Structure 1
Amino acid sequence: MTKERLIIGISGASGITYGIRLLKILQKLPVESHLVMSKSAEITLAYESSMKVADVKALADVSHNINDIAACLSSGSYRTLGMIVAPCSIKTLSEISTGVTSSLLTRSADVILKERRRLVLMVRETPLHTGHLRSMLNVSEMGAIIAPPVPAFYARPESLDEMVDYTLGRVLDLFDLEIPGMNRWDENSKQRPEQ
């Protein structure tokens, strides 16, 4: 039996570390990762990381060209678990919301929605105006999950890496994929305040 496949989209929003870390985590899980990285993401990478584009693409099992609309990901007959866009820019969200797709990244998301598979958008923008909120509502009504990368402090993270990993762990939970050793809420744990 072949591995399950998961599409990872990286758009040009700030927070490229989420996409990079997600690819690294997936290397340790029984999942074949398919990367689609936008041109804007490549620019953001230069600002937010010392990694090169080739280094990020090498983290994926398969890397697809953003302009290759004929790629396997653009067909509903190509089976996947779904897709995570990490981070998801407002431009990417808006294209998905309208169904007017201009790249393999947004076409892949469109296919995921039409096939009723799981689409998780880690929207990275603040503050939000009404148009942003309407686009989020629209994709949510179409079946996508909006999962902004918001840190959870009850896990008492001691580093930025721990914050990122916890957020990604929660996103991967949506695909029934578990990060080993994730610090989860336990009602009997020491995380609860003394009464």
Structure 2
Amino acid sequence: MSGREKTPQAKAARNHLVAACAVLAAVAMVGAAYAAVPLYFMFCRATGFAGTTQVATAAPALKGQRVLTVRLDANVAPGLPWSFEAETASVQLRTGATATVYFKVRNRVSRETAATAVYNVSPGVAGAYFDKISCFCFSEQHLGPDETAELPVVFFLDPRLEQDETLNGVQEITLSYTLFAALDSNRPVAAAPGIQNGESQR
């Protein structure tokens, strides 16, 4: 037998080693994929990438100088039997000032259903300066049979927007929502959040 020839036992051991390496590589790839998701969202939150908005607890103390139009867009994905619309098409907002806008939803079927919202801002670069203080997109929304609700969004435009040269020629920003059917619609109905007498401030 040549020195280069391998015994059946050696071949089997080598095959087991290759299989083990393949399994470990697959596990590592899956783990990396799961880790990439929260890292991706953290990156989007930090940079406003892909129109991802920011989260804030309060508006800045000082207002800016620019006044922009914020347009409101509402969409419903296939499979969700809701109607969904903004109560106003747009608002004029000075940077640093807080605005409260409402979206009206209605469950059009005779059973409880639930939805979650996906959102973005365009142009995408504006997401880094679009700060939400309160939003229905932060939690799952439940509506009973034929129930309607007003869902508020409280937000402001960071005055630092004025220092970004890529936004110098931008006069309009669009805040867009799409509602999707939630995976679990069998939990008890939760009251939709509401803010009374919310008005845009300049």
TM-score by length of 1: 0.22
Write 1 or 2 for the structure with the bigger share of helix.
1
Write 1 or 2 for the structure with the bigger share of strand.
2
Q: Which has the higher contact order (CA 8 A, sep 6+)?
A: 2
Larger radius of gyration: 2
